[in-house]
Amino acid sequence: MSRPASTVPPGRPQQRRGALTPTLIVVAIIVVGFIFFANVWTDVLWYQQLGFFEVFLTENLSRIAIFLAGFALMFAAVFFAIRIAYRSRPVYAPDSEIRDNLNRYQMQLEPIRRVVMIGLPVLFGLFAGSAAASQWQKVLLFLNQEPFGQTDPQFGLDISFYLMTLPFLGFVTGFLISVVIVAGIAGVLTHYLYGSIRIMERGIFTSRAAQIHLAVSGAAFLLLLGVNFWLDRYSSVQNSGGRWAGALYTDVNAVIPTKSILAVAAALVAVLFIVAAVIGKWRLPVIGTAMLVITAILAGGVYPWVIQQFQVRPSEQTLEKKYIERNISLTRSAYGLDKIQETRYNATTNATSGALAPDAQTTANIRLLDPNLISDAFSQLEQYRPYYQFPSALNVDRYEVDGKIQDTVIAVRELNPDGLSANQQSWLNRHVVYTHGYGVVAAKGNKFTVDGKPDFLQSGIPSTGVLGDDSTYQPRVYFGENSPDYSIVGAPDGAQHREQDRPAAKEGDGETQYTFTGDGGPNVGSFFNKVLYAIKFQSSDMLLSDGVNAESQILYDRNPRDRVEKVAPYLTVDGNAYPAVVDGRVKWIVDGYTTSQYYPYSQQEQLSAATTDSQTTSGRTASLPNTSVNYIRNSVKATVDAYDGKVTLYAWDDQDPVLKAWQKIFPTSLKPYSEMSGALMSHVRYPEDLFKVQRELLGRYHVTQADNFYTNNDAWSVPNDPTVQDDVKQPPYYMSLKMPDQDKPAFQLTSSFIPQVVNGAARNVLYGFLAADSDAGNQKGVKAESYGQLRLLQIPPEANVPGPGQAQNKFNSDPTVSQALNLLRQGASAVLNGNLLTLPVGGGMVYVQPVYLRSTGETSYPTLQRVLVAFGDKIGFAPTLDEALNQLFGGESGASAGDSANNGQAPDTTAPGGTTPAPGSTDAKAELKAALDEANAAIRAGQDALAKGDFAAYGDQQKKLSAALQRAIDAEAKIATPVPAPTATPAPDATQPAATPAPTPSG
């Protein structure tokens, strides 16, 4: 037998299949797999170190299990649909021309038929499994649901059915419908490809096997559709598309009954498909399907439309009253507005002498420092080194000082790696040497120094003050809102310190060094862990540097909000984490919310829109996600230790059924609030974002009568912030305040309301004032009964109390104020309006606004120079709040403000780093004040003369005004001519030269 001729042309070597391509593919798979493993295993190490491995394990095992279930269902359905269709293919086809075309397709498919028959189900299974795994929270809540003990008014089912059962059933039904549709399409295409379904001139030919396959698929789809119709009955109470949330008259009387009919009809048509599969007759299921479609159109669409247009619209207020009442009641319950205390406040606009006497405690606590403006003052006075920084917005808290509660503006001195000079920007400096910030800085909220600087309670390096010192609290800040992405810390006992700690206590001494001693991150001492984290952070330096030793830990995910979100993925985290000195540590306090969008009859609220104000738009606080909710609870208070990053979750609202369900899912991750220390309790406050959502809803839902709610003639809006240019809401403000029904002041979160803004226009008068009690007490594990109490003062419209916009306009347009501020602007200085506070005192509403002056220059910072106050149509304007209030209330307010000690004092310029006043500057201040008073008198007299038509007198007063202003300018010039203090010792501040870079440690 002769050997077959070779197909290779003579002279050309025979080609062999090379091993390079398969090798590269295998290497690529290994590399990608190891990178994936590195990210997963570093997460395991992170959760284990933090003590929340239960969360990682439960979440990921749930995702995997749900993925596998979804994958298996989709894979099995598609695989068997294709396989059954293929195995039942006919031996021959009746039409030769069509058979030839299909044969060509079959011949092209045949070499890869097995791959396709497995690959397509796998591909669809991967998509389905991934989609199903993303619903892991719905599955776990369904399996661990907790009853609410409250039923909905339509079906009488427990609220938990709507929040935890119905979403799961909807997910399962939708997923199964997708499986049936995809498998059905795959089966039909396979039947057609192999001749079981043919399109012929006389119609469509289907084999017996194809008919049975189609009938079973159709029946399954219709049964699931029927289930979906049935579940839609319950979903109607969650509707948010109408004017009011929930099932309204048309839903109850037309939609819900027709959904029931459609559910039964779909089940009957499904039975007809099964019958057709048995007897081979398709007339009945075809007729049934047509009738179902017609019924769905008429009963599901046309009939409700007719009811709405011709029955409801003409008598909407009467017919919808019952359902509006449901919406009001359940919305208030879902957002925690059902226990609000509402009081009519007959506010006066007449400022009488001594009116503040009953509010003496509130007056003494009025906050003057604006936490959004004094960050630069903190930086210039307390930053000390360019590698430190303060946030752009500071926080308001309270501390006990000399036996009294003191409102405090507080901030953490965090690390700023970008502040290092160019020759310091090495990997070692950024990740091994410069690792942490240092200390807390706090100032009194109601006081300031005579020259307008913050009156510090806690300051300096080393940290000293009433909050403690280095011996009583740990000042080092490794975890904060502006920490580096990662740092490597720790060393064996006795090893050389490598971390830059802080400037020395005395000027001229060297910088101090430090070694982290806590348990703050996973160990990176082993070579394997180094490799994993080098891959995670894409850094080869981590493998090669001698800054990484056997005891090294890596700190990352250092933002307090990020840490809480990671260990509690079921929570929505408040946009503002705030620091407090608690039990000898700096702790970040973070509020967490459980939310849902499935509460029956509750109004949907978009979180991002509801919480947007001038703080979020300026980037000072984080924005909440762009999701809709109709149920929210502040269920968790979390703390993050600024030194070692330890996260502790406390079940704050332990009656919240949603939180109870999550506690069953993650039984060891939350602690009861009874374990909170008294010191921590004293710094808990009512969360801002929850308050913003509540005030947004309260704009409409303060009305509880259905008829008034329907007409919407008493709706309110949150006023825009008058201190900024953009039309954006005014943020709520923390302050110590005594509401009219309280015996003593409490730390409160406050906001005001004006009439509803329509098309950008509104009557800017005050209609309401809301305060949330933020005092939780100071006893270990005992929550004060008053905490969280919402108090709403409803101001009669006829009172005509100016709103924030009107108050700001009065300040801006008053001639005396304008003239004085123009003088302050001499020398290109900028006048900055501080936050406009609203307080219900003196029988009416007082507005207080600090006025800051900022000179030109890189090292300048705002100093508080004046205070504006308003009551009704009157305003006061003085260097101190105490003086301004006395002006406002006829020379005697009846109470002393916190800055009363500053009255009549000249700035203390002999302090270290200060200036000595120019000769006669004390007299110059008196001259300035006298000149401004004369100018004010001339302006008022001139206006009176003008009103009487006495132009000669008006001219005389204008001359007096010009002379007074010139004297004021001359006096201001004298004051602004300081000379250096001859004996002052400079204090270290941010204006000093940059610190010498820490020497690079040798190995």
pLDDT of residue 611: 94
Predicted local distance difference test score (pLDDT) of residue 939: 72
pTM of the full predicted structure? 0.86
User: Looking at residue 424, what is its pLDDT?
Assistant: 86
Q: What is the pLDDT of residue 212?
A: 87
Lowest average pLDDT, out of 230-244, 350-364, 602-616, 758-772, goes to 758-772
Higher pLDDT residue, 6 or 460?
Answer: 460
862-916 pLDDT, tens per residue? 999 999 999 999 999 999 999 999 999 988 999 999 998 888 776 654 443 333 3
* pLDDT value of position 97: 52
Structure confidence at residue 1003 (pLDDT)? 31
Check whether 943 has a pLDDT greater than 50.
yes
Q: Across all residues in the chain, what is the average pLDDT? A: 87
- Reply yes or no on whether the pLDDT at 1000 is more than 50: no
Place of tokens 């990682």: 56
Q: What are the φ/ψ torsions at residue 474 (nearest 5 degrees)? A: -85, 110
Residues 6+ away with beta carbon under 8 Å from 760? 727
User: What distances in angstroms separate CA 879 from CA 33, 368, 625, one per listed residue?
Assistant: 68, 12, 42
| Window from 580-584, 590-594, 798-802, 917-921 with minimum mean pLDDT | 917-921
Please give the backbone phi and psi of residue 104, each rounded to the nearest 5 degrees, phi first.
Answer: -65, -45
> 999 versus 840: which is more confidently predicted?
840
How far apart are alpha carbons 755 and 765 in whole angstroms?
7
| % of the chain surpassing 70 pLDDT | 87
Dihedral over alpha carbons 609, 612, 617, 621 (to 10 degrees)? -130
* CB contact set of 102 (below 8 Å; sequence gap of 6+): 93, 193, 194, 195
User: Looking at residues 675-699, what average pLDDT do you find?
Assistant: 96
Rounded mean pLDDT of 348-356? 92
Q: Which of 268-277, 650-659, 869-878, 925-934 has the lowest mean pLDDT?
A: 925-934
User: 207 versus 827: which is more confidently predicted?
Assistant: 207
Decide: 225 and 198 in contact? Cβ < 8 Å.
Answer: no
Distance CA 613, CA 623 (A): 10
In this prediction, residues 711-723 reach a mean pLDDT of 92
User: pLDDT tens for residues 641-660?
Assistant: 999 999 999 999 999 999 99
Q: Residues 550-557: what's their mean pLDDT?
A: 95
Q: What is the C-alpha radius of gyration for the chain, rounded to an integer number of angstroms? A: 37
- Residues 763-786: what's their mean pLDDT? 93
Q: If you search the block for the tokens 């006389």, which residue do you land on? A: 202
Q: What is the pLDDT of residue 978?
A: 42
pLDDT score of 11: 53
Q: Quickly state the pLDDT bin for 7 (edges 50, 70, 90).
A: low
Residue 796 CB contacts under 8 Å (≥ 6 apart), including other chains? 344, 346, 347
pLDDT of residue 918: 40
Which of these, 83, 161, 197, lies nearest to 598 by C-alpha position?
161
- In order of 407, 473, 483, 518, 677, the CA distances from 584 in angstroms are 20, 4, 21, 14, 12
- Nearest by Cα to 429 from 437, 418, 440, 439: 418
pLDDT of residue 910: 43
Name the least confident of 132-141, 168-177, 418-427.
418-427
Between 343 and 504, the more confident residue is: 343
Pick 163 or 93 by higher pLDDT.
Answer: 163
Instruction: Identify the pLDDT of residue 842.
Output: 92
pLDDT-wise least confident of 109-113, 482-486, 863-867: 109-113
For position 760, what pLDDT does the model report?
66
Mean pLDDT across 375-394: 91
790-794 and 341-344 as β-strands: parallel, antiparallel, unpaired? parallel
Amino acid at 733: Y
